[in-house]
Chains A and B, each alone.
Chain A
Amino acid sequence: MSDAAGSGPGSADPFDAPEIAPPGGPAGDLPEAALRRLESSSFSSGLSVPDFAACLDLGLQPVALVQGFCVMQWGWYGPGSSTMRGMSPYVGGQLAPGSYSETYRCPHGYVSAEHRAWGQNIEQSWVEEAWAQGYHTAYGRMLEEAGTMGAHGVIGVADLVSNVADTGTTEFHFLGTAVKVEGGPPPAGGVPWSTYLAGQRLTKSIEAGFMPVAVVAALASVRVWAYCMTEYYMDGAMGGWGTNMGPALVEQVSKAHMASRQLARKHVRQQLAGDELHGAMISIATRELSAGDEVIDCTLRGNRMRRFKDFDPVALPRPTVRLS
């Protein structure tokens, strides 16, 4: 299977490529079973009956239930990983240019060999890139299936990302209903548009003048190497080396949390190219490794929408009270 991620024209950055898959997707990338299914003369759709009806009202003709799949593994010991970087801020790292890192230094001076004299928050760009590659590859394959059918767009997209921690693999799975716009032109470059929306919610968006462009998502991963103060606070070692008796802001962990969310927002914004992100969903997964040491993964996804007509708000609805 070929790699569909980051293949936007003239771009090395996977976050910089709004059209993830090349037009039509890489040839021969789909399994034979998929092609056999898509050749069948019946259409299929994952839409509920009301959503199906709304889709027909919009002039969208369901073509096929399409999907894309990709299983990724990424090692923790590759170049640029924290392991390769070594446990010192002075050695210098292989951090990607422009990525987030922040160093914290022990205020105590030399205490012992076990004392955590420094700590660092680092953006694990190699994890983010691997996630983006898996996500965009699976997404590209779904679009390829849709493109094979001559579809213009994919609606009601559902994506499942499951981490299988024990095996170090992550599965990316996309499902959606490919549609044709009756009498409509094909999208630019032949790459179908896509959205998590379907049914009345899609109808209302179109009515308000927002056309779906693509589903977008990004993962931001921040590793916290705790320094002594963070370790004391997170481990409850009160009175140890300068911690006070009262509650205190754990600056290093708080900043790492903020950074993970801000980075996810930045990565998603880079895929918007001036369009809007609607219905953003943010989710956080933290893995504590030892006192204060943790990995914070933030996933942000949503619908990239483009305004296609001048601002035309609905009339302010009248409030009502129901008698039943």
Chain B
Amino acid sequence: MSQSTSAPVPVPDIRAEMLKGAQALATPAPPSKERGITSDLSVDEALLLHAAGWEPLDLVVGVAVVSVPVGVWNWGRGSISLASDAHNAAVDQAARLLRGECTKVHGHGVVGVRVDVSVQTHHIDVELVGTAVRPMAGPGGGKDPRGTDAALAMPFVSDLSARDFTLLERAGWLPVGLAFGASFVYAPRRSAGTAMKQTRQNVELTNYTEAMYSARESAMEKMQHSALEAGGQGVVQVKITEGPMSFARHAIGFTAWGTAVKLVADAHQFVQPEVVLPLDDAVVTFDAQSLRSSNQGRGGRR
């Protein structure tokens, strides 16, 4: 490469920093009674959170196992309410334990919560793992618009990444909690007569449509209800799962969950992103094949 003609841009002297780091390890650290911070944030997430004036405190967990009474999955009609009750109870209990762990370390909330739900024949297991965070003290520290007391009394729980959290905060919003909804339904059956009659018809199977439609709506409705209950105005990053139970193919489960959010600023703050035109080549590494074919000459493929 030829020399650069532009003015030198000040870059952090990373080698000097590395030497400083090495020197810090050259002498044994004095014994410390301090409680070490634990976090499952990625390096980028931790840096971003620091830049926004927040700091990680502790890796926190909440796990609950709730029983599903026997016979619940047997053939029937309509929705399987005992299964959705068990699902809700497990999520609520896991979130309560997660909040409890967060409160113990004086966290204002939990970000990046990984949600793991497993529906078994006789029990539903819910595992929540995330990192408790709080605004940093001193200059450069962030601020919790709810105030410290309110935040400690009811820490938020969110499955948003640290990136999404800082973006949301900048726009004047704050997560309040996980919003969850689940509904389970029996795959409907037609009477023998109807099935016979419809064999040669191209028709909508209305009972199927209705059952699936209302089960999906019901899961989302429960989710929205739980968001309102938690004090949120709406739900972002909704995820939907659906499918038959592996142990009961005639039963279909629908779940919907996301992070309930509320506006804490006076009004929505416009983030006003800068529009950039990246000049990066789309090809990540040199692709010798691209030289051989004229239609790949622009190197647009990977």
Partner-B contacts on A (CB < 8 A): 57-60, 152, 181-189, 193, 197, 201, 203-209, 211, 213, 233-238, 243, 245-250, 253-254, 257-258, 261-262, 265, 268-269, 272-282, 284, 300, 302, 306, 308-309, 311, 313-324
Contact = CB atoms under 8 A, between A and B. Distances in A.
A234 B123 contact: yes
B66 interface: yes
B95 interface: no
Contact of B275 (A57, A213, A321): A321
7 contacts: A60-B18, A203-B14, A206-B21, A253-B65, A254-B64, A313-B50, A319-B170
A186 B26 contact: yes
Given A58-B14, A250-B123, A265-B38, A211 B48 contact: no
Interface in B58-117: 58-59, 61-71, 82, 85-86, 89-90, 93, 97
A100 B77 CA distance: 46
A261 B70 CA distance: 29
Interface in B161-182: 166-167, 170
Contacts of B32: 273-275
A231 B261 CA distance: 40
Contact of B69 (A181, A236, A323): A236
Complex A-B, nearest 6 residue pairs according to Cβ-Cβ distance, in ascending order: A274-B32, A272-B36, A247-B86, A211-B21, A184-B22, A308-B24
A311 B142 CA distance: 14
Given A207-B14, A233-B67, 17 more contacts: A58-B14, A59-B18, A181-B18, A185-B23, A201-B43, A234-B67, A235-B122, A238-B70, A249-B64, A250-B66, A257-B65, A258-B61, A269-B35, A274-B36, A281-B40, A315-B51, A319-B167
Nearest to B125: A257
B39 A278 contact: yes
Contacts of A300: 59
B38 A324 contact: no
B276 A181 contact: no
Given A261-B61, A306-B24, A313 B47 contact: yes
Contacts of A236: 67-70, 121-122
B20 interface: yes
Given A57-B14, A236-B122, A184 B23 contact: yes
Given A236-B122, A321-B273, A282 B63 contact: no
Nearest to B30: A274
Contact of A187 (B25, B67, B86, B272): B25
Which residue, B23, B52, B53, B166, has most C-beta atoms of chain A within 10 A?
B23
B19 interface: yes
Contact of A247 (B43, B59, B66): B66
Contacts of A234: 67, 122-123
A247 B274 contact: no
Nearest to B140: A313
Contact of A308 (B21, B48, B58, B276): B21
B18 A254 contact: no
B206 interface: no
Contacts of B160: none
Nearest to B282: A324
B33 interface: yes
Contacts of B90: 249
B37 interface: yes
Given A250-B66, A257-B65, A280 B39 contact: yes
Contacts of A235: 122
B31 interface: yes
B43 A314 contact: no
Contacts of B122: 233-236
Given A186-B26, A261-B63, A321-B273, A279 B40 contact: yes
B287 interface: no
A277 B59 contact: yes
Contacts of A182: 15
A313 B55 CA distance: 11
Given A236-B121, A280-B40, A311-B50, A248 B276 contact: no
Contacts of A257: 63, 65, 125, 127
Given A211-B24, A235-B122, A238-B70, A278 B273 contact: no
A260 to B, nearest CB: 9
Nearest to B43: A201
A204 B70 CA distance: 53
Contacts of B27: 188
A247 B65 contact: no
Contacts of A318: 273-274
B42 interface: yes
Contacts of B278: 322, 324
Nearest to B19: A184
B264 interface: no
A281 B131 CA distance: 12
A254 B59 contact: no
B271 interface: yes
Contact of A189 (B28, B59, B121): B28
B273 A188 contact: no
Contacts of B28: 188-189
Given A59-B19, A234-B123, A306-B29, A277 B47 contact: no
Nearest to A298: B61
B36 A276 contact: yes
B44 A204 contact: yes
B69 A246 contact: yes
